[in-house]
Structure formats: structure tokens, C-alpha cells
Amino acid sequence: MEWLIIVGAIMSAIGLIGLVASALKVMKAKREGLEEAALRARMQKALVLNLGALGVSVLGLMCVILGVSLV
């Protein structure tokens, strides 16, 4: 089940990259000094990316835990 650990680690890394990208998008939007509505729209898009990345990361960690427990 070593392959499950490797796949889980890759998924977790992809999720972490997505979380960092989401944070960078939010910081960039705040620095631009947008109006309330435009800032809210950008935050909603970043929230979708954030939740997706968090989901991928959680699934990856679950694969790692499962792989470690089966080895």
C-alpha cells in the first residue's frame, strides 16, 4: 500500500499549493483597494478555490493515514 501513501502525499501537496494560491489572491485583492462589491466578488472566487484545495488536502491526508494503517 505504499502507492496509497505516495498518492495521498501528492494530493496533500496539491491542496497546500491551492491554499497558498487562495491566500495570495485575497492579499492581492486587498492591496488593490477595490470597492466593496468588487472585493466581495473576488473573495467569493477565492473562497471556492480555498474550499476545493482544503477538500483535496483532506482527501490526501486520509489516503496517507489509510496507507500507513494498512502497511
* Whole-number pLDDT of residue 34: 84
Q: Which of 62, 42, 53 is nearest to 14 (CA)?
A: 53
Domain ranges for the chain, please list them: 2-70
Residue type present at position 57: S
pTM, 2 dp: 0.84
Q: What is the grid cell recorded at 54?
A: 482544503
* Whole-number pLDDT of residue 51: 96
pLDDT at 64 over 90: yes
- Indicate the length of the chain as a whole number: 71
